[in-house]
Structure 1
Amino acid sequence: MRSLLFVPGNSAKMIAKVTASRADVIILDLEDAVHPDAKPEARRLVVETLAGASTGPRRFVRVNSLDTAWCREDVEAILPAAPDGLVLPKSSGPEDVIRLSELVDRHEPRANKGATGIIVVCTETPSSTLSLAAKSWRHPRLAGLMWGGEDLSAAIGATANRDDQSRYTAPFLMARNLCLLAARAAGVAPIDAVFTDFRDGDGLIREADAARRDGFSGKAAIHPSQVEIINRCFAPTDEERRWAGRVIAAFESGGKGAVQLDGVMLDAPHLKQARLILAASRAE
């Protein structure tokens, strides 16, 4: 999952536009993008979209948080249409993955049992952010951990989450880094936050390049124009592909725990990195 594009679940026009995009995942949003009075109609439109999907991006649905009555209503309405997964906002910690999974178990169609993944936006509350370092998030349904700074800003009383150079300030860098480490520890995709200024392509490139450099596997988007940039930034370069192929070939021919390539000693971490690069290449 390189690019994950959010779209309001109550806008048929915008949904039609993003389903034709090259995003790896579209996230049909029933939470922040939808006014409470519009949620029933948004659910109907999302179910209609899921039912009509046969090709194109994978389809996830951002449900409302577990501490609202809307979450259960979302799951009950949506699961029969077999989305690829759900996105859970406003998490309090890994226990919420278990709670949502139990709800999914009760409503998932028999033919789709166990197939509905869960991505958690894991830094929108202080308790969830701190739990990234204190608890394991591993779960059979967990597909990814995504971080975001907007709700966390409000939760901690921050007046801004970036400095005057547009760099994240310390609390938000901590949240970002904890998300990355917790996701890798759980064996799932770490997903970088949205870049909110969709008109600033250069800024998006810088942020996406930094995210991939540090270990994120993808990035969320809020506008179709961001998708191509994100896909390009998270795609391995030709040089990286060649290096990965040579590393794997060296280990296959060497048959031991460490090998030498171009005068450099390589061991298990290099082999793992090479496999990740080739896996990312195959996913394009």
Structure 2
Amino acid sequence: MGVRRSIHFVPGANLKMLSKVPELSADAVILDLEDSVVSSNKEEARKNVASWLASERDKTERFVRINPITMRTGREDLESIVECDLDGIVLPKVTSLDDVKLADSIISAYEKKRGPCSVGRTKLILIGAESAGTVFNLTSISNNDRVDGLTWGVEDFFASIGSRSKRDSQGQYLEVFKYVRSICLISAVSANVQPIDAVFSDIANHKKLAEECKYSAQMGFTGKLTVHPSQISIVNESFSPSDVEVKNAAELVAAFAENMREGKMAFLYRGKMVDTPHLERAQNILERSKAITKRDA
């Protein structure tokens, strides 16, 4: 699992937006064949996406969101683009592990034809919890070796439960949405896949986006879906360790090294007791910072 802070949606039917993808600073892009494409344009969008994927690569990860795999359109999407030069597939409206297994079987059949070096290369990012009945399946649907990320579909979930609003007067998620968000995080971490936070649809409200990203990162999410280019830099910064965090982590690791030489794994540090979990967190911060620096170089 590499660095994937911003995961940006690009409509597959929009040639102008596709042409601007190389100018984006997103860590990953999702070329969309689902919600942003009207039924009459599905075939054209597939051709656009396939053509774009044939273009010269850069360091940006390339994903394609197909239509639901349980629909004929979704299977046709997958079969038409799985041979392209992409990193993975985004599966929407995943209801059960059977959906994941179906996509896996189609991808595996192609990879085997292509040769041993291709087997297992194509990743899956799952969009779960798009309806009330699928919230409690988030852990089980991630139980597949091809799954590399998990997110939740806030807008579809909102529509499915009949809420009047997603947020309170302060702009914070109502409790039911906080709950689903937390379940997504815990399910992803327990399956050892990337926890990815849902889209923030108020594209002009950069201040609130930054606040939401900060809270999301504090929770444990490591990336967020974006729907407008102006959101990308905010998301990238929010999901990168700050200079202060890196400095503090390095100092804590050094303190552990010194105390371990004295046979101590738990000790008082700046007025607080620290032990193994604190060391692991500090090491994770330093590793993530190095990975981001390498990725952005």
Instruction: Confirm or deny that 1:198 pairs with 2:203.
Output: yes
Instruction: Confirm or deny that 1:58 pairs with 2:61.
Output: yes
Aligned partner of 1:266 in structure 2 is: 274
Deviation string, structure 1 residues 163-217 (Cα, Å, up to 9, x no partner): 2332211221111010011011111111111110111110101110110011110
- Mark the CA change 1:258 to 1:145 in structure 2 (over 3 Å): closer, same or farther: same
Q: 1:280 aligns with which of 284, 288, 293?
A: 288
Instruction: Confirm or deny that 1:123 pairs with 2:126.
Output: no
Instruction: Confirm or deny that 1:4 pairs with 2:10.
Output: no
Within 5 Å, give how 1:1-284 maps onto structure 2.
Answer: 1-108=4-111, 109-110=114-115, 111-132=117-138, 135=140, 137-253=142-258, 254=260, 258-260=265-267, 261-284=269-292
Is the contact between residue 142 and residue 150 of structure 2 (CA under 8 Å) also seen in structure 1? no
- Mark the CA change 1:65 to 1:251 in structure 2 (over 3 Å): closer, same or farther: same
Question: CA separation in 2, counterparts of 1:185 and 1:263?
Answer: 32
Is the contact between residue 86 and residue 117 of structure 1 (CA under 8 Å) also seen in structure 2? yes
Question: CA separation in 2, counterparts of 1:107 and 1:38?
Answer: 26
TM-score (norm 2): 0.89
Question: CA separation in 2, counterparts of 1:229 and 1:181?
Answer: 24
Q: CA deviation at 1:129?
A: 0.9
Question: CA separation in 2, counterparts of 1:30 and 1:45?
Answer: 10
Q: CA deviation at 1:252?
A: 4.2
Deviation string, structure 1 residues 1-33 (Cα, Å, up to 9, x no partner): 110110101111101223321100010000001
3-state SS of 2:165 partner: coil
Is the contact between residue 93 and residue 127 of structure 1 (CA under 8 Å) also seen in structure 2? no
* Higher mean C-alpha deviation, range 260-269 or range 205-214: 260-269
Is the contact between residue 183 and residue 190 of structure 1 (CA under 8 Å) also seen in structure 2? yes
Supply the RMSD in Å over aligned alpha carbons.
1.8
Is the contact between residue 9 and residue 29 of structure 2 (CA under 8 Å) also seen in structure 1? yes
Q: CA deviation at 1:228?
A: 0.5
Is the contact between residue 82 and residue 112 of structure 1 (CA under 8 Å) also seen in structure 2? no
- Mark the CA change 1:257 to 1:57 in structure 2 (over 3 Å): closer, same or farther: farther
Question: CA separation in 2, counterparts of 1:143 and 1:152?
Answer: 22
Deviation string, structure 1 residues 146-175 (Cα, Å, up to 9, x no partner): 112110122222232222332211221111
3-state SS of 2:20 partner: helix
Question: CA separation in 2, counterparts of 1:282 and 1:70?
Answer: 41
Q: Structure 1, unaligned stretches of length 5 or more? A: none
3-state SS of 2:82 partner: helix
Q: CA deviation at 1:132?
A: 2.8
Is the contact between residue 143 and residue 189 of structure 1 (CA under 8 Å) also seen in structure 2? yes
Task: Tell me the number of residue pairs that the alignment of Structure 1 and Structure 2 aligns.
Answer: 283
3-state SS of 1:42 partner: helix
Identity of aligned residues (%): 39
Deviation string, structure 1 residues 211-239 (Cα, Å, up to 9, x no partner): 00111101110000100011111110111
Is the contact between residue 70 and residue 99 of structure 2 (CA under 8 Å) also seen in structure 1? no
TM-score (norm 1): 0.93
